[in-house]
């Protein structure tokens, strides 16, 4: 098999998450987050206040191609926010090829990586600038901003991994929610709407 040899890319990454050389940038807006937050009334109130085009998070990525062995390197910038008691989140996903791992290195802000397996394990890894989490394969993952500033992470994962978002929506959300806590700042609680992940 002949594989393509790409030219190495130098990438500048700012603490804000801005990066040069990205091959794709996409944004998720308040209008894209219907049914993501448990408190739908709070989400609807935010929609009325800020409008559907209000940016919740932005992802910039650099990839050479989709071939196995390539990497996707990028940044995720999740704005602060609260929807009822629940902090702002990304949609979250399981990799389409579920055994693919991913590195998330926090370069700004204060967040939590919420991690769950299909068979019932849960972890919430708190991240501040300089801290990283090496997410193993087979873990559903979602970023949560528990601070007042944008939560910015640098991520890196296999280019053939893909994303399965329906695993979360089919289960009516992840098993845990990250909510505000007066003393600790944040804590996880069980999502009463969660119906269990399909095997």
Interface residue list for Fe ion (CB under 5 A): 102
Tokens at residue 180, please? 């505000």
CB 55 within 8 A of CB 32: no
Shortest Cβ 116–Fe ion spacing (Å): 13
Other C-beta atoms within 10 Å of 35: how many? 11
Other C-beta atoms within 10 Å of 23: how many? 13
DSSP state of 155: E
Whole-angstrom Cα distance, residue 160 to residue 171? 25
Whole-angstrom Cα distance, residue 154 to residue 14? 10
Residue among 76 and 179 whose Cβ is closer to Fe ion: 76
Residue among 40 and 70 whose Cβ is closer to Fe ion: 70
Shortest Cβ 2–Fe ion spacing (Å): 29
Tell how many helices (H) and how many strands (E) occur in the chain.
Answer: 2, 15
Tokens at residue 9, please? 């890319």
Shortest Cβ 44–Fe ion spacing (Å): 28
Shortest Cβ 197–Fe ion spacing (Å): 16
**Residue carrying structure tokens 């030219």:** 7
Nearest position to Fe ion, beta carbon: 102
Residue among 102 and 116 whose Cβ is closer to Fe ion: 102
Residue among 102 and 176 whose Cβ is closer to Fe ion: 102
Shortest Cβ 102–Fe ion spacing (Å): 5
Distances (CA, A) of 84 to 38, 46, 108, 113: 9, 10, 24, 20
């Amino acid at each position: 098999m002949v594989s393509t040899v790409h030219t190495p890319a130098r990438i500048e990454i700012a603490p804000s998450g801005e990066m040069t050389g990205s091959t794709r940038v996409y944004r998720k807006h308040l209008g894209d987050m219907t049914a993501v937050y448990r408190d739908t009334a709070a989400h609807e109130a935010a929609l009325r206040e800020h409008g559907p085009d209000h940016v919740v998070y932005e992802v910039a990525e650099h990839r050479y191609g989709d071939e196995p062995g390539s990497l996707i390197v990028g940044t995720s910038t999740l704005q602060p926010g609260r929807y009822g008691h629940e902090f702002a989140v990304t949609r979250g996903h399981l990799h389409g090829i579920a055994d693919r791992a991913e590195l998330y290195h926090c370069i700004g802000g204060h967040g939590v990586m919420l991690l769950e397996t299909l068979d019932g394990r849960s972890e919430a890894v708190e991240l501040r600038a300089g801290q990283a989490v090496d997410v193993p394969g087979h873990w559903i993952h979602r970023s949560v901003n528990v601070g007042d500033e944008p939560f910015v992470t640098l991520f890196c994962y296999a280019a053939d991994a893909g994303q399965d978002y329906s695993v979360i929506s089919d289960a009516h959300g992840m098993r845990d929610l990250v909510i505000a806590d007066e003393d600790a700042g944040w804590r996880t609680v069980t999502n009463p709407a969660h119906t269990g992940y399909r095997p």
